[in-house]
Structure 1
Amino acid sequence: MNKAMRTLASGCVTAVSVSALLLAAAGPSAAMGKDGILQTDEFGLFYNQYQSGCVFDLYGEDLNFNNDYFKSGCTGGTSLVNDNTESYWNRDVYAWKVGTDANLDGNVGELPSGYSGNASLTFKNKISSATFTLHA
């Protein structure tokens, strides 16, 4: 689910035309996330501790990191994201959940808005999926 759909799901928008919905879904979500630059309204998983090394930045959910790679040009560049992250930063207004297996299976943890830190031993180099929640 992308953030254009979040707005609809949370009841913030009461009426949206079909064409406006399609433009909103294709616009921001296509331009943000997975570009190696952690921006406001994104959730980032970092290759190293203390939010260092390459970042895998998400704007919308990704339920299987097995086909995602860090961008080149930084520590961990071109490495597979799956089971290869040591810290995180939630720059989104929504909380994010991470799972140690695809489809948010295995151990699941929730990171509130604005939270950053190193992954615990349960999650360090074991995160395989993530999604946002509809509460801030």
Structure 2
Amino acid sequence: MILLSAAGPAAALGKNGSLEVHEFGLFYNQNQSGCVFDLYGEDLNFNNDYFKSGCTGGTSNVNDNTESYRNRDVYAWKVATDANIDGNVGEIPSGYSGNASTNFKNKISSATFTLHP
């Protein structure tokens, strides 16, 4: 006999322009303002990613075009200045938000979560 359980609440989808719990967000402007690029899973190349319309920075390419961040995930996230987590790499712990440093402001090109909470 196979038992099926009911599905739980819908998981965050990512890349929908809304930063939800369990997601990592990169913002077009400083102080977590303007459009947000929200990630639920890794994205190793932002070259084909665009901010959603209807906010400051809307429809702009995400690659090398973010100034702040917020991590609503339980895991830390790594960001990098080149595709495939290469170049300068930084880690943003769970629950942190802030403005990108000079080394990362408008230079982030990829992101992935780490396996340690």
In 2: Cα distance, 1:127 partner to 1:115 partner: 17
Equivalence map 1:111-130=2 (5 Å):
111-130=92-111
Which residue of 19, 28, 33 corresponds with 1:38? Answer: 19
Which structure has more RCO (C-alpha within 8 Å, separation ≥ 6)? 2
User: Number of matched residues?
Assistant: 112
How far off is 1:53 after superposition? 0.1
Partner of 1:94: 75
More helix by share: 1
More strand by share: 2
Which residue of 81, 87, 90 corresponds with 1:109? Answer: 90
Match of 1:66, SS state, is helix
TM-score relative to the length of structure 2? 0.91
The percentage of counterpart residues that share the same residue type is: 83
Equivalence map 1:49-60=2 (5 Å):
49-60=30-41
TM-score relative to the length of structure 1? 0.78
1:77 aligned onto 2:54:
no
